[in-house]
């Protein structure tokens, strides 16, 4: 791919002086699609953390907040519209401290415990296995259950699988007693979470043995086939991946990876809603830093698994800012601006590119925690800019990925803004293309092209060339706002929301070309029908 590099400062000065806009081209190779964008790349994550579950998803049947069997109606409606394919639960770090038997049976008899990982909040266990799996049925999504191998036992794990999926035997009888006759279908199980850290501080060699032991006793019951996911590396820990590929190999169906767009793990992570232009560009550079990381993990996987049988799942990703002032420490409640929307779009664009190996991703988290879809406060709810990106990208779910070449301006952004980040091995600067794009073809043959003009000040004219295809019509949706820090609040819930986009036209003389004018800091998804 040919790219033009011009110093960002110089280029911006020239553009401003001459009142010009940026120009770029995207060539979509419409007949070269070989991999499908697994819908599970649009997965979500719900942890017992802060108000993600309690208050966000679940208010209980006796709540004055309108609910269906304890689930908030407003949140249910909004989530159904997102076509969520898969939901990961109960953690995160919480998973390796969770004992599932505490969360079954009559709610008033369930024992309480302190959520020692997340703020010392009292966990009353009113949301447990039944509440989670029934929620997945309501949302028509697949459950992904993370097992406790850090502080649990092999027996506990094996009985949990049996309780959820067997149609006879003692665990099935216990389930019947608790009100559920038919087993649920549970395909995805995580064998631990961050086992190198909060999930048990294990070495990769030790974890590999633990994985093999625990996974042996996670059995397929009653026609349910498990897809077993090993707890993978964080960021740049390639040794973890190498060791697991060597020692676990095809005993796992997939290996996870966690990558957060975060300044560092010590000290301030920066504010979600107050930031400079430089902070914004740094953030997008850091977000795109996931691509070389994915490539390196995949290269290791390729050496052990040339046939591509083991999936790579980015089962935690997204932005991580300082908690909002006035919220409970340890609850990771953060606001969500247009900057977060860009992180969502750019990350999804990267995941699409590696969809031959990446089979699932789970943004952290679904409500009220980190880069969430939804924020709630008592009976109020707002949808975040990130929610809208996920909605605009629905047509890419299960569509065929179409490779594209992008020629656009680029800028160099510093790599780590602060000392103490975990990113010591990378280059001091990162290249940030001013345009990000991804294309796919759905089952009906309709093309979808998502474009993001990263530039905060300049509009951008994109010449889209559809190789070997002619466009019949083009329509679209745009997400943009006056300021990059704009966000939706309980008082003003509609500051950022998608609108119809009218800036794309099929070229009259050559219908294989579409000209798109993207306003500064905008994200667009086009629907293109072809002749
Ligand atoms: O998503 C918040 C936390 O981040 C998760 O519990 C943990 O797995 C990760 O470190």
CB of 150 sitting under 6 A from ligand 1: no
The Å distance, Cα 397 to ligand 1 centre, comes to 25
The Å distance, Cα 200 to ligand 1 centre, comes to 13
CB of 46 sitting under 6 A from ligand 1: no
Asked whether residue 521 is assigned to any structural domain, the reply reads yes
- Whether the per-residue pLDDT at 419 is higher than 50: the answer is no
Report the CATH number at residue 185: 3.20.20.80
Does residue 293 sit in the same domain as residue 434?
no
CB of 193 sitting under 6 A from ligand 1: yes
Boundary-marking domain end, from 375, 397, 419: 397
CB of 316 sitting under 6 A from ligand 1: yes
Give mean pLDDT, residues 45-51: 98
On whether the CB atoms of residues 324 and 333 are closer than 8 A, the answer is yes
CB of 315 sitting under 6 A from ligand 1: no
Residue 4: pLDDT band with limits 50, 70, 90? very low
Give mean pLDDT, residues 443-468: 97
CB of 91 sitting under 6 A from ligand 1: yes
Does residue 468 sit in the same domain as residue 387?
no
Does residue 273 sit in the same domain as residue 311?
yes
> Rounded CA gap, 375 and 88, in Å?
18
Boundary-marking domain end, from 397, 413, 439: 397
Strand stretches in 222-291, DSSP E = 227-234, 254-261
The Å distance, Cα 86 to ligand 1 centre, comes to 18
Residue 429: pLDDT band with limits 50, 70, 90? confident
The Å distance, Cα 93 to ligand 1 centre, comes to 6
Strand stretches in 195-234, DSSP E = 227-234
Boundary-marking domain end, from 397, 427, 449: 397
Does residue 324 sit in the same domain as residue 437?
no
CA distance readout (Å), 527 to 139, 311, 351, 403, 471? 26, 29, 20, 17, 10
Catalytic residues: 194, 316
On whether the CB atoms of residues 93 and 147 are closer than 8 A, the answer is no
Report the CATH number at residue 459: 2.60.40.1180
On whether the CB atoms of residues 58 and 127 are closer than 8 A, the answer is yes
> Rounded CA gap, 78 and 375, in Å?
11
The Å distance, Cα 94 to ligand 1 centre, comes to 8
Q: Whose CA is nearest to atom 4 of ligand 1?
A: 92
- For residue 4, give both structure tokens: 């033009």
Asked whether residue 3 is assigned to any structural domain, the reply reads no
Question: What pTM, to 2 d.p., does this model score?
Answer: 0.95
Does residue 426 sit in the same domain as residue 391?
no
Number of domains in the chain: 2
- Whether the per-residue pLDDT at 19 is higher than 90: the answer is no
- Whether the per-residue pLDDT at 417 is higher than 80: the answer is no
Does residue 146 sit in the same domain as residue 225?
yes
Residue 138: pLDDT band with limits 50, 70, 90? very high
Atom in ligand 1 nearest the alpha carbon of residue 193: 8
Instruction: Show the domain range for 345.
Output: 40-397
Report the side by side order of strands in the sheet with 447-453.
400-402, 435-441, 447-453, 522-530, 471-480, 499-501
Does residue 384 sit in the same domain as residue 479?
no
Instruction: Look at residue 415 in the predicted model and tell me its pLDDT.
Output: 79
Asked whether residue 17 is assigned to any structural domain, the reply reads yes
């Amino acid at each position: 791919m040919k790219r033009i590099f011009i110093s960002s400062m110089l280029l911006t000065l020239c553009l401003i002086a001459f009142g010009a806009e940026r120009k770029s081209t995207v060539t979509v190779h419409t007949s070269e699609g070989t991999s499908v964008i697994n819908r599970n790349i649009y997965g979500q994550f719900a942890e017992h953390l802060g108000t993600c579950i309690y208050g966000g998803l679940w208010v209980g049947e006796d709540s004055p907040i309108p609910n269906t069997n304890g689930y908030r109606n407003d949140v249910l409606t909004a989530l159904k519209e997102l076509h969520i394919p898969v939901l990961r639960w109960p953690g995160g770090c919480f998973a390796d401290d969770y004992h599932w038997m505490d969360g079954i049976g009559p709610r008033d008899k369930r024992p309480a415990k302190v959520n020692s990982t997340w703020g010392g909040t009292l966990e009353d266990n009113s949301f447990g296995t039944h509440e989670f799996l029934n929620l997945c049925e309501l949302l028509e999504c697949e459950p992904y259950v993370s097992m406790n191998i850090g502080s649990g036992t092999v027996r506990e794990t094996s009985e949990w699988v049996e309780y959820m999926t067997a149609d006879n035997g003692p665990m099935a009888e216990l389930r019947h007693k608790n009100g559920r006759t038919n087993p649920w279908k549970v395909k995805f199980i995580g064998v631990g979470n961050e086992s190198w850290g909060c999930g048990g501080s294990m070495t990769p060699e030790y974890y590999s043995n633990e994985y093999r032991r625990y996974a042996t006793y996670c059995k397929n019951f009653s026609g349910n086939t498990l897809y077993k996911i090993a707890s993978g590396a964080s960021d740049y820990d390639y040794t973890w991946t190498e060791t697991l590929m060597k020692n676990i190999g095809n005993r796992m169906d997939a290996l996870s990876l966690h990558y957060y767009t975060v300044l560092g793990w010590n000290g301030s992570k920066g504010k979600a809603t107050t930031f400079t232009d430089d902070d914004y560009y740094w953030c997008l550079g850091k977000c795109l830093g996931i691509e070389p990381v994915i490539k390196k993990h995949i290269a290791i996987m390729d050496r052990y698994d040339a046939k591509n049988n083991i999936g790579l799942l980015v089962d935690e990703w997204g932005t991580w800012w300082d908690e909002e002032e006035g919220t409970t420490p340890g609850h990771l409640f953060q606001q969500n601006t247009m900057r977060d929307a860009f992180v969502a779009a750019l990350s999804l664009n990267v995941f699409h590119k590696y969809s031959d190996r990446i089979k699932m991703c789970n943004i952290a988290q679904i409500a009220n925690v980190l880069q969430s879809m939804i924020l709630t406060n008592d009976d109020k709810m707002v949808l975040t800019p990130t929610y809208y990106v996920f909605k605009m990208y629905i047509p890419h779910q299960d569509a065929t990925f179409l490779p594209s070449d992008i020629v656009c301006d680029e800028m160099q952004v510093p790599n780590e803004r602060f000392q103490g980040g975990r990113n010591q091995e990378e280059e001091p600067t990162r290249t940030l293309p001013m345009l990000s794009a991804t294309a796919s073809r759905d089952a009906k043959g309709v093309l979808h092209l998502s474009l993001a003009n990263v530039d905060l000040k300049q509009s951008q004219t994109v010449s889209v060339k559809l190789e070997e295809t002619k466009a019949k019509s083009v329509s679209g949706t745009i997400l943009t706002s006056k300021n990059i820090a704009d966000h939706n609040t309980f008082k003003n819930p509609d500051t950022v929301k998608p609108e119809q986009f009218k800036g794309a036209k099929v070229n009259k003389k050559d219908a294989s070309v579409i000209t798109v004018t993207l306003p500064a800091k905008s994200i667009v998804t086009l629907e293109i029908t072809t002749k």
